[in-house]
Structure 1
Amino acid sequence: MTPFPGARRAVSALFLLNGLLVGSWAPKLPTLMQRLEISEAVAGLMVLVLGIGSVTIMPLFGALTARRGSAHAVRLAAWLAMPTLLLISLAPGLWTVFAAVLLFGGAIGGMDVAMNANAVAVERARRRAIMSSCHGFWSLGGLAGAGAGGAVITLIGETGHALIVTLVYSAGLVLALPRILRDAPGADQAAAVPLRLPRSPLPYVIGLMALCSMIPEGAILDWAAVYLQREMGASLALAGWGFAACAGTMAVMRFLGDELRRRMGAVRTLRISTLVAMAGLGLAGLADQPLLAIAGFGVAGIGIANMVPIAFSAAGNVPGLAQGVGLSVVTTMGYSGILLAPGSIGWLAEHTSFSLIYMGLAALLLVPLLLSPLARTADFDDRPDAAPAQTA
């Protein structure tokens, strides 16, 4: 019988719920631009604030994971994230929206570090890769949030949309959190964990690989809807499907990713994935009408799908690092790509075009292609057995 089946389902549910929140942000940005009457540059600054909140909080939750375990950290972050989307919708002016977005970014960032660390703990306990499928559940949540978000906002308004998402998210937490894997270290082990950055260069180089892999994902999340609506004349409901197409194909490929990694190895899987992502981004950038661009984002999602899970799994198993430390470095660097870099895209979009930007992002993926040999630590055959954890 497979050990810890409840913990496997619980951590998958957390990825799904986090993806629901993040996906629900995608159609909200054009709505905020309209409500607050702001330009792409100001919206880009808003996305930057979201990223600052995330990358500031991520190292703190990495340290908390190392000291108290991922189960404690993910509970705290998940409940902190619960009201944030509603706060953004209720904030009356630009500065209050910025404050709510900062809190939103910090909460989802802390949750991301902790739930990825919990997924690594489940992988170790089961001696089997699950990271890609966990991120597949995140993509399903993103698909639901982004795909339905534009239509729901159109029907019942921005606040009604946020209230529905918040209620669904809260119900999911009540069901999932009691069943997550309890991986708290012993008292002696926790006291021995140094709260400092690792001295080995390996986590930082893997972090660079994750950074370049996640910048295109962030550019699709935050700007695909704006690209389709403003440069191609798509409706709000259709524009939301830019990220939804990417999230949907990512979900399918991530559910296949663990088996692909087992059959082909992490390095080969990463290389093929990178080449497919480059082709999809190029197609989206060269498209001359919305449906073709959406198809390009869908192809990009096929490639992006397993790049980040492989990097995270590799980082969570770097030899000689305490649990959560290496992963917090890589997630912080990686999510600076998905959260900070898109803020610069808003400024670039006013001086060039989103079409050119997406083509440039395809070229950026040459970096993870060249660094792909570092993914070998994500293959379980080369790792010693780890002591199993307990279910909560």
Structure 2
Amino acid sequence: MAGTGLVGIKARWAVSALFFANGLVVGSWAPKLPAMMARLEIGGSVAGLLVLALGLGSICLMPVFGALVARRGSAWAVKRAAALFTPSLIWISLAPTVWAAAATVLVFGALIGGMDVAMNANAVAVEQARRRAIMSSCHGFWSLGGLAGAGVGGAAIQAMGETGHAVLVTAIVAAILAVAFPRILRDHPGGEAKSQPLRLPRTPLPYLIGVMALACMIPEGAILDWAAVYLQREMGASLTVAGWGFAACAGTMAVMRFLGDEIRRRFGAVRTLRVSTLIAMAGLGLAGLAGSPPMALAGFALAGIGIANMVPIAFSAAGNVPGLAQGVGLSVVTTMGYSGILLAPGSIGFLAERTSFSVIYIGLSLLLIVPLLLSRLARTADFEAAA
């Protein structure tokens, strides 16, 4: 594995570029969905099934790429996942029928999941090589890419059409990858890792970290999918103000992710996770107890500060579990974590019809007691202290 210095700096920016490119494509998917619904003349229920197909595809391929990372290294895996992932929006734009669209979206989701595992594994490899935490800022670059893709995607589709927009995004991502690929850190699993059978870990540690990641990601998904509905229906906010719900969370989250690596270096992963969890609990509680839209927005913004670094710490901890290939540990944790974002929206909608979103957000603040109790497991992310 490459060491520190110039090579390490290049590798650090290369993996950041991978996160940005992935976020750009995923963010570009958001405005593409309504355009695809209009082109194929499908309603919300069918579109919901397409979104479900995306999530199922993602979860299905994560363990496969975890095994590939363990056997061939994260650089080998991420290059192949990224190359296949890059033109995905073009396939979706050209799908002539609902069934063809479902197939392309399923493959799109699978490649998102595969690239996600591989690029997080490469970020762990760069952390280990440089002996410096970078995971939080990598997720910050993903947030920037997602913001860019979603922010200009609608205007680009209106100006260039669905296929033209897909070709433009593909060209931009291909250019980013052309610069990043030669600089990606080439990690080489040792002979012991290559000879290990491809099976699920027998130690409980990665599964417990996965439970921690699951509990951290459900509130993020709940704010993404339901904050606007909560603000509009229960708080009486206008549609414009309602749209600020997730924006308030996403904005503070992006800022804190760029600050998170230095915070973790200074205070340690366990303490950072505990304080982040308490802040997120306070934010979700404030949002649930809010008596006005501004107070709810303040709660979502505070929750974003806390949530920002919880998942990156969990991923870094999973990639540094002693005696376990990083790809295997990461695939377990990412699969369990992202299943929360897949399953939570429908469950929360079902519960909201019988209670209220106010009660749900208060309940989600209590859910974060789980990562608070499991926070000591994040000590494997403190590789710098171990060094």
TM-score (norm 1): 0.85
Specify whether residues 279 and 221 from structure 1 end up closer, same or farther in structure 2 by C-alpha distance, changes over 3 A only: same
Provide the residue aligned with 1:69 in structure 2: 73
Q: 2:189 aligns with which of 185, 191, 207?
A: 185
Distance 1:173 1:54 in 2: 21
Q: How does 1:306-321 map to 2 (within 5 A)?
A: 306-321=309-324
Structure 2 residue identity aligned to 1:57: L
Structure 2 residue identity aligned to 1:313: S
Distance 1:289 1:157 in 2: 40
Distance 2:168 2:294 in 1: 29
Deviations 1:130-175 (A, max 9, x none): 1111111111112222333445455555444434322222221111
Q: 2:239 aligns with which of 234, 243, 254?
A: 234
Specify whether residues 124 and 302 from structure 1 end up closer, same or farther in structure 2 by C-alpha distance, changes over 3 A only: same
Specify whether residues 348 and 278 from structure 1 end up closer, same or farther in structure 2 by C-alpha distance, changes over 3 A only: same
Distance 1:383 1:81 in 2: 36
Structure 2 residue identity aligned to 1:371: L
Structure 2 residue identity aligned to 1:333: M
Distance 2:97 2:350 in 1: 22
- The answer as to 2:91 corresponding to 1:121 is no
8 Å CA contact retained: 1:150, 1:240: no
Deviations 1:209-240 (A, max 9, x none): 001111222334455567678885526xx876
Deviation at residue 105 of structure 1 after TM alignment? 1.2
Provide the residue aligned with 1:97 in structure 2: 101
Q: Tell me the SS of whatever aligns to 2:326.
A: coil
Q: How does 1:231-270 map to 2 (within 5 A)?
A: 234=239, 242-270=245-273
Distance 2:294 2:219 in 1: 19
Provide the residue aligned with 1:111 in structure 2: 115
Distance 1:267 1:301 in 2: 19
Deviations 1:266-290 (A, max 9, x none): 1111112122223333455566887
8 Å CA contact retained: 2:213, 2:337: yes
Q: Aligned residue pairs: how many?
A: 380
Provide the residue aligned with 2:59 in structure 1: 55
Deviation at residue 241 of structure 1 after TM alignment? 5.5
Distance 2:248 2:159 in 1: 21
Provide the residue aligned with 1:198 in structure 2: 201
- Could you tell me which runs of 5 or more consecutive residues in structure 1 were left unpaired when the two chains were aligned: 385-392
- The answer as to 2:4 corresponding to 1:16 is no
Q: Tell me the SS of whatever aligns to 2:239.
A: coil
8 Å CA contact retained: 2:131, 2:384: no
Provide the residue aligned with 2:148 in structure 1: 144
Provide the residue aligned with 2:10 in structure 1: 6
Specify whether residues 227 and 97 from structure 1 end up closer, same or farther in structure 2 by C-alpha distance, changes over 3 A only: farther
Report sequence identity in percent.
74
Q: 1:333 aligns with which of 333, 336, 340?
A: 336
Structure 2 residue identity aligned to 1:38: G
Distance 1:253 1:160 in 2: 34
C-alpha RMSD of the superposition: 3.0
Specify whether residues 204 and 106 from structure 1 end up closer, same or farther in structure 2 by C-alpha distance, changes over 3 A only: same
Structure 2 residue identity aligned to 1:331: T
Distance 2:161 2:229 in 1: 19
8 Å CA contact retained: 1:214, 1:337: yes
8 Å CA contact retained: 1:234, 1:290: no
Specify whether residues 248 and 31 from structure 1 end up closer, same or farther in structure 2 by C-alpha distance, changes over 3 A only: farther
Provide the residue aligned with 1:383 in structure 2: 386
Q: Tell me the SS of whatever aligns to 1:199.
A: coil
| Further displaced range: 211-220 or 345-354 | 345-354
Q: How does 1:20-35 map to 2 (within 5 A)?
A: 20-29=24-33
Provide the residue aligned with 1:217 in structure 2: 220
Distance 2:154 2:290 in 1: 22
TM-score (norm 2): 0.86
8 Å CA contact retained: 2:58, 2:111: yes
8 Å CA contact retained: 2:193, 2:325: no
Q: Tell me the SS of whatever aligns to 2:261.
A: helix
Structure 1 residue identity aligned to 2:340: G
Structure 1 runs of 4+ aligned residues shifted over 6 Å read 225-231, 287-292
Question: Relative contact order, CA 8 A, sep 6+: which one is greater?
Answer: 1
Specify whether residues 72 and 290 from structure 1 end up closer, same or farther in structure 2 by C-alpha distance, changes over 3 A only: farther
Q: Tell me the SS of whatever aligns to 1:181.
A: coil
Q: Tell me the SS of whatever aligns to 1:61.
A: helix
Provide the residue aligned with 1:131 in structure 2: 135
- The answer as to 2:277 corresponding to 1:278 is no
Deviations 1:160-193 (A, max 9, x none): 443432222222111111210000225x345312
- Could you tell me which runs of 5 or more consecutive residues in structure 2 were left unpaired when the two chains were aligned: none
Structure 1 residue identity aligned to 2:85: A
Specify whether residues 244 and 281 from structure 1 end up closer, same or farther in structure 2 by C-alpha distance, changes over 3 A only: same
